[in-house]
Amino acid sequence: MNIIRNIELDLIKIKETGRLREDENFRFRNYLKGQNSDKIDRLVHRLNQEISDRIDCTSCGNCCVKLKPCITDKDLFKLSQRLEITPEQIKDNYTETDNGELYFKNLPCSFLIDKKCTIYNNRPEDCRSFPHLNKKDFTTRLFGVIENYLICPIVFNVLEELKSKLNY
């Protein structure tokens, strides 16, 4: 196993680098679509584990500042138990609908205080699985990965390391 030496955590540098590498990242996206999906999944899952182990998401919280997670009925139920209010009250006070999907409406997230999630044990599944790099079929989700590259140090570092590993 190769050790990943340099992990970038500076959100300003990540955003600037992402803007500078926008064209490169879209070319890399097209390149990945032509690769063996299972091989890419294995590599991304390994890189995600190695990099995630070295990054404390609770010291960042940028996803909670920049993204609105999708909220399911199951999420509403768990939140209503945690907050001791009805699912309808959660919908009315904290969510909005876009294209038939329910999302938290506020940025940063209403439940983020000092880069910490106040509903962490009951957070929505979309939050729980972010940055979604542990899921199968990475090469079918590349548009979202490229968007998250600007936001999440894990995604940024995994994608940069993936480029290196594939000699791109």
**Radius of gyration from C-alpha coordinates of the chain:** 17
Q: Where are the domains of the chain?
A: 11-62+131-165, 68-129
113-131 residue pLDDT tens: 988 999 999 999 999 999 9
Cα–Cα dist 63/48, whole Å: 16
Q: What is the DSSP letter of 97?
A: E
**Is the Cα dihedral 71, 74, 80, 86 positive or negative?**
positive
- pLDDT tens digits along 72-123: 999 999 999 999 999 999 999 999 999 999 999 999 999 999 889 999 999 9
- Between helices 11-20 and 22-33, what is the axis angle to 10°? 70
Q: Which of 16, 11, 58 is nearest to 152 (CA)?
A: 11
The half-sphere exposure of 143 on its side-chain side, counting CA atoms within 13 A, is 1
pLDDT digits (tens, 9 = 90+) for 44-61: 999 999 999 999 988 899
Amino acid, res. 85: I
